[in-house]
Structure 1
Amino acid sequence: MTAAATHLAVPPVRRAVPLVLAGALVATAIAYPLSSGAARDVVSWTIVLLGSALSVAHAGLSRGARTGAGVFVLVALTAVVFESIGLATGYPYGTYTYSDTLGPTALGVPFLVPLAWLMMAWPSWLLGELLARPVRASFRRAARIAWAAAVFAAWDVVLDPQMVHAGYWTWADPTPGLPGIGTVPLTNLAGWLLAGAVLMTLLDVLVGRTRVGGSPRVGPAAPLFALGWMTLGGALAHAGWLGLPGSAAWGAGLGAAVLVVLAVQHRRAGRR
């Protein structure tokens, strides 16, 4: 093993950290539809804390400590800016209010919200990177950002109705919405696409400037597993336990569409 390889190697114990966090996240997510009241609030906090820890740990282990720290700061600041503007003006998401259940706030934004962005943002960027691999090199960065922003917004298609159902926030006018989802307006989806495009562009620049040579040093399996479970597992929970068939259908459909794209890419790559 060369000196460079030794420098880049991640000890097996540290390499296992994202997998352990992803496993704990999935186990906690399974508990969500089976709980209620104050216990469900605790489960929600735990899911977000585990998901944000997974994002930071994986970013740091796979691309270096500077990237891990940068992801945490960048996503948290971007979330607070977008959410505080949204609360004050109704743009770009529409008019909504948070409940007191989410606890302490900064500029009116509960601390839990930037952590939820963090939970969602890094896996979305990783999946965008994977989906953009077949694209011609000159267009790959734009494709990576576009895919990542779309995944980021699609994840919220499942998450937002669940959070409204739990009473964590309320929309002043939830219509028009996606077919089957009567509690969240289409303006929210448009807002998430805009926020996602901005955030993923910033993340792309950050990773490009801070990553260590030879990265990624750890594969994306753990964050992508968490993303897949939170989308497809969330859809199952919505259909079977939470009484949210509309968001269940959207989650299953969007998740299946991504899987089909990945399968087609894999098949084409195998023919080369």
Structure 2
Amino acid sequence: MVRVQERPALRRGLEAGRRAAWALAVAAVLCQIPYPLVSGPWRDALTVAGVAVFCLASLTAAALRHGVRGPLALFTVAGLGGLAVEAVGVRTGFPFGSYHYTGSLGPSLAGVPVVVPLAWIMMAWPALEAGRVLAGDRRRAGAPASRVRTAVVGGWALASWDVFLDPQMVDAGHWVWSDSHPGLPGVEGVPLTNFAGWVAVSVAMVAVVDAVSRRPVRRPAGSGAPGGPAVVLYLWTYASSVTACLVFFGRPQVALVGGVLMGLVAVPLALRVAGAAGRRG
């Protein structure tokens, strides 16, 4: 009798969680839409607000996927791990290259703005879910080969996002590179060491979050779309980043380079989501 009574309560709880995850995803998008239309303190405030809401959306989606283990793994590995690697980075120049924060992003911890580890959290989960969707046979999702594919694809999904992020934040004056040469072709102002560091850190981060949070696995929160709101947020980030660089930021080369590199994940991911939607229809 107790189990019968618990099931409806569990369903109601999951449904409330799904609604919360989607509401937070929509709120994150709404925070980002006006970003290129404002400047100065308003833009800085939107940066912090957008990251915070997006971070909450990712944590909520992780909880729906894995219970408490999901957000705990995400916070510990991506949040505290991101903070640790950034703290080492600003002191030693490893693994990204020599840089420093300017103080425009609010309070700091260990020389790193608090919003920065939140940004690692916010995108690590969508990147992981993108990697899972594209990794292969879901029936063998726990197999070693599948986990390696997830780590590589998800790590690239996370690292390639920085091709858009870093030029934008450098242009906004949030951090400064001591030496930006050599860089990716078309991505002036950001050294190539930064991208290499991001790839290494991102693959390791996604692999650990995936391994720690793997059990128990529930269906992604959402309307049946692969990856739920996390994947939708990843595709939104891709499309909005390309558009912003082309239309608002005067960075067409970044739009091209980032569009190609992040598109290696985002385009097949979009096709997979569209195919799933077509089958449901």
> Normalising by structure 2, what TM-score?
0.86
After TM superposition, give the deviation of residue 198 of structure 1 in Å.
1.7
- Whether the 8 Å contact between 1:232 and 1:251 is mirrored in structure 2 is no
Match of 1:52 in 2: 55
- Asked if residue 206 in structure 1 is aligned to residue 217 in structure 2, the reply is no
Structure 1, unmatched stretches of 5+, are: none
- 1: CA distance between counterparts of 2:231 and 2:266? 12
Which amino acid in the other structure matches residue 89 of structure 1? T
The residue type paired with residue 54 of structure 1 is A
Q: How does 1:73-88 map to 2 (within 5 A)?
A: 73-88=76-91
> Which whole-Å CA distance do the structure 1 matches of 2:201 and 2:37 have between them?
32
Q: Is the 8 A contact 1:177 1:186 kept in 2?
A: yes
CA distance in 2, matches of 1:255, 1:70: 25
* Unaligned 5+ runs, structure 2: none
8 Å Cα contact 1:158-1:251 kept in structure 2? yes
Secondary structure, in 3 states, of the residue corresponding to 1:151?
Answer: helix
Residues 205-228 of structure 1 deviation map (CA, whole Å, 9 limit, x = unaligned): 2112xx33x513524221111111
Matched, 1:66 2:69: yes
Are 1:247 and 2:248 counterparts?
Answer: no
User: Pairwise mapping of residues 3-152 of structure 1 onto structure 2 (< 5 A)?
Assistant: 3=4, 6=8, 9=11, 10-134=13-137, 137-152=143-158
Report how far residue 69 of structure 1 moved.
2.6
Query: Which residue identity does 1:238 align to in structure 2?
Result: C
Cα distance 1:265–1:42, how it changes in 2: closer, same or farther (>3 A)?
closer
Using the size of structure 1 for normalisation, the TM-score is 0.89
Alpha-carbon distance in 2 for matches of 1:265, 1:243:
31
CA distance in 2, matches of 1:164, 1:17: 33
Contact 1:232 1:255 in 2 (8 A): no
Deviates more, 1:60-69 or 1:81-90: 60-69
CA distance 1:74–1:258, change in 2 (3 Å): closer
Change (3 A) 1:139 1:247: same
Is 1:134–1:265's contact at 8 Å kept on the other side of the alignment?
no
Output one character per residue of 1:154-198: Cα deviation in whole Å (capped at 9) or x when no partner: 111111111111110011111111111111111001000111122
- Please give the alpha-carbon distance, in whole angstroms, between the structure 2 residues aligned to 1:55 and 1:265: 19
| Partner Cα distance (2:144, 2:211) in 1 | 16
Partner of 2:182: 176
Provide Cα deviations, 1:38-70, integer angstroms capped at 9, x if missing partner: 000011011100111011111112210232233
Cα shift readout 1:109-140 (whole Å, capped 9, x = no counterpart): 11011001011101100000011024975511
C-alpha RMSD of the superposition: 2.4
Taking the aligned partners of 1:185 and 1:14, their CA distance within structure 2 comes to 41
Q: Percent identity?
A: 35
CA separation in 2, counterparts of 1:163 and 1:89?
21
Measure, in 1, the Cα distance between the counterparts of 2:49 and 2:273.
35
Aligned residues: 265
- The equivalent position to 1:235 in structure 2, one of 242, 262, 265, is 242
Moved more, 113-122 or 134-143: 134-143
Q: Is the 8 A contact 1:94 1:187 kept in 2?
A: yes
Distance 1:32 1:194, change over 3 A: same
One-letter identity of the residue aligned with 1:145: A
Give the AA of the match of 1:99.
Answer: T
Secondary structure, counterpart of 1:183 in structure 2: coil
Give distance in 2, aligned partners of 1:179 and 1:56. 35
Distance 1:30 1:265 in 2: 23
